[in-house]
Structure 1
Amino acid sequence: MSAVVLHVGQCGNQLGLEWWRLLTNTSNHRKKRCPFSSRSGDLAAVCVDTEPKVLRGASEFVKTGEFRASNIIEGKGGRGGNWAYGYHGGPGEGENGVLQRTMEAVRQEAERQDYYGGAILLHSLSGGTGSGLGSRLCEQIREEFPVGHILTVSVVPHQSGESPLQHYNTALSLAALHRSADGTLLFHNDHALSYCAGRPGRSSSRPQGSLSAMNTQLASHLAGLLLPVQSLTTHSGRSLGMEPWELIRSVCPFPSAKLLNTAQASSRQRSHWDSLVNGTLQNLPQLSPAGKPYSSRAVLAVARGDQDNTFGTSDVLQRLRHGHRCVHWNPFPVDHWTDPLNELDVSASSRLLTVCSNHSSVSGLLGRVVQRAGEMLDARAYLHWYQRYGAETEELQQALNTLSDIIQEYDSQ
């Protein structure tokens, strides 16, 4: 109806396919009203990677008629974990290049919608295709659809290291997203791994800490935030909650700060909402390394399984406000949406609370990226890998300057 979902690179496609599996398993009765499908009922997905391996997983959706085969975009050869190669493309890529074919698929998918509201981009910040091509696609979509929204789901690499280039790639990606996207949901691989490793697996086929379990956990966060909710349904029957852009309006009051944190807690019992709030606050950083308290510009709480309408009338909103140390200048910093049904677990007593916040602790991530990428830049490490594909030292320095400005923006709140 309004959203085109774009998976880019290995990570983006693995997470995206898990998202669609979850969505089709939990929302079949709402599918035709879902913002993630076209008028004909096809899922509005575009899958792109420069290597075909992960895209084979999309064949299950093509066979069932839920994905269009023309929306599966394969490249020839990877991008070497290099942002510059992903962003600028290889030599000789013309009208039939991955970028051009992907944009054509996005255009056609946008035309199939009742109206085009925007795009959701799923990708990694570290891989060459996800970071570089993802950044370029974000810019191209912004240029072609200037009034449409762009929400990115950006996966942060492990701190311990996935690639020697990950700090450069992350810096360049985040700087590009800052220019083009309206909101960026950050999901940390380290956080997802810790969560899955410390929690009993729901299925024996998905071991604790496995990549599949991590993708399932991240997809659950997305579903908690983006599935339609009853509390935003108007008298005409139109659900505003079916539009992902409502999330951006709630938690991004200013375009200069749009990096978003998520947390989730659930219970199969009729637990008090207070206990679920405490669960979402458990791992929220409270103090910077210098001892300065972190704070939130805005918070959105999505409560599913609120059959007795107790979420909005309890003191949980105040607890969220205090737990996030919401800024004083926002008179209404906590928004909340509710739905009587928890579609991720339809048992009668299950409850799910997903919290999205514009939290200043993101400055810790940005600071680490600036420090490590800056050290590499000073040593001129790996610069020839980027220069080979058209990215000069000045572009890297500009990206670090952009991240430093974002850090100052969050620290000033």
Structure 2
Amino acid sequence: MGVVVVQIGQGGNQMGYALFECLASMAVSPPTEFFRSAQPHSAAVKARAVLVDMEPKVIQGIVKRAKTAAVQAHRSAWTYDAQRLVAQNSGSGNNWARGYYGHGPQCLDSVLDAIRLEVEQCDVFGGFVILQSLAGGTGAGLGAYLVEALRDEYPSSFILSHCIWPYESGEVIVQNYNVLLTLSHLQSFADGVIIVQNEQLSAICRTLLGVLRPSFDDINEVAVEALGCALLPSYWRTVQPSTQTIQTDVVPAQSLDFTNFTWAAQLKHLRQMLITGAHKELEMDWNVKLPTSSVHEHKRGVFPTNGHHQINRSLANLLILRGSGSDNADVSDFADVRMYPIWQVDPLSVAACSTSYGRYEIAAGLLSNCQSSVLPASRALTRAYNMFASKAFLHQYFEHGMEAASFDGAFASIEDLVTRYSLL
């Protein structure tokens, strides 16, 4: 099965390079889901990727970087296919409308042709992974347009969008407009949206990795390690294997060396991160507990604050385990009904792979459809409403054919989404 990665804009292309580096290094050999043979009987492989940007500089830079790394690396070399690059000579200038209404129609045929050629290289096509930012004009505006076009061109194919949420302090002055406009389109045309926040990635670099002034390369490396854990091959397993019940309840635990990692410890921390809405271990509050009542007696409309006084409720979770013992690890705590709405049935799925994840002896990843994005989305809404009320920068959007009704529709869509998630 082949998965085609579409890298859009500066942020998406830089993230894409980091992702393929991660996938190639974390697996024993470059996984065929994301790489294909460059030539018959050759160890060299090409990434199953299409690179899109409205300026050639970034694409040229990462293509050169991949070639240089391939020459220097002691692993199987990978490169990009020169026939899968789509670039123009004028950027979007952080203008969502220019990306969506201007560059979108202009470059659509070229992008779809490149994507079609890559899809045809797949024995079995498994869908798309879209890498894009939410703040700028190309990744956000053009990205939204291309996701909409892909849904029309490949109506039954899976589309997963991996979105970079900008620093809330402000990378781009109109970023709140761009974030809401993009998300409103993605929720209509993508099957899934993964949101990663630059603020949280930077905090992980500083507190866990000791990188005091993280670069975008540092941030991307953290993001793709989490994404790679979810994307690499695995198999579905039950939440509670039948033999595990006997082992957990009756058989004493095997003696372990002091330095050994255990699934119990790993999953205990991951579960607490989930129920507190924490993105890293150091910020989670161990005092936050699930309600003791079997009935969900939680206050509706309340979600985690900085103090994490309320639990982070989930709609559904996908738990991915990699490493020895992943098929028998006890994950029943993640199926606790108190973590989910009372009407949700079978909200937990578990995937496992006995192969270790790169340098990690064991690794657990969690894709959670939960309330953790409610607060940043609410803040973006408030700021965008205030700017819109004062008509700030609207002329930049209107001059490319956008109308005020498009803003109204996007705001209403995200406001409704925030309300529904806050009431889980």
1:399 matched to which residue of 2? 410
1:186-225 aligned at under 5 Å gives the runs 186-200=195-209, 209-225=214-230
CA distance in 2, matches of 1:270, 1:58: 40
Task: Work out whether residues 199 and 208 of structure 1, in 8 Å CA contact, stay in contact via their aligned partners in 2.
Answer: no
2:349 matched to which residue of 1? 335
Check if 1:54 corresponds to 2:54. no
> Alpha-carbon deviation of 1:278?
3.7
CA distance in 1, matches of 2:326, 2:318: 20
> Alpha-carbon deviation of 1:200?
2.8
Check if 1:300 corresponds to 2:298. no
CA distance in 2, matches of 1:114, 1:171: 37
Where 2:183 maps in the other structure, the secondary structure is helix
Where 2:46 maps in the other structure, the secondary structure is coil
Q: Percentage identity across aligned positions?
A: 28
CA distance in 1, matches of 2:355, 2:259: 14
CA distance in 1, matches of 2:12, 2:259: 33
Per-residue CA deviation, residues 167-199 of structure 1 (Å, 9 max, x unaligned), is 000000000101110000110000100001102
Per-residue CA deviation, residues 307-359 of structure 1 (Å, 9 max, x unaligned), is 37441xx2x431x344981222223222211222223216xxx1111011110
Please, what TM-score do these two structures have when normalized by structure 2?
0.79
Amino acid aligned to 1:345: R
1:2-401 aligned at under 5 Å gives the runs 2-27=2-27, 29=29, 31=31, 34-38=32-36, 42-55=46-59, 56-61=61-66, 66-89=79-102, 97-200=106-209, 209-230=214-235, 270-280=260-270, 281-282=272-273, 284=277, 288=303, 293-307=311-325, 309-311=327-329, 314=330, 316-318=331-333, 320-322=334-336, 325-345=339-359, 350-401=361-412
CA distance in 1, matches of 2:190, 2:233: 22
Task: Work out whether residues 63 and 79 of structure 2, in 8 Å CA contact, stay in contact via their aligned partners in 1.
Answer: no
Amino acid aligned to 2:222: Q
CA distance in 1, matches of 2:380, 2:67: 39
CA distance in 2, matches of 1:396, 1:368: 16
CA distance in 1, matches of 2:338, 2:3: 30
Amino acid aligned to 1:220: E
Where 1:53 maps in the other structure, the secondary structure is helix
> Alpha-carbon deviation of 1:379?
0.7
Amino acid aligned to 2:277: L
Amino acid aligned to 1:66: T
Q: Which stretches in structure 1 are left out of the alignment for 5+ residues?
A: 233-267
Highest Rg: 1 or 2? Answer: 2
CA distance in 1, matches of 2:326, 2:174: 51
Distance 1:214 1:362, change over 3 A: same
> Alpha-carbon deviation of 1:60?
4.3
CA distance in 1, matches of 2:163, 2:326: 35
Task: Work out whether residues 200 and 208 of structure 1, in 8 Å CA contact, stay in contact via their aligned partners in 2.
Answer: no
Where 2:392 maps in the other structure, the secondary structure is coil
> Alpha-carbon deviation of 1:139?
0.4
Distance 1:47 1:181, change over 3 A: same
Q: Say what the alpha-carbon RMSD is for the aligned residues.
A: 2.5
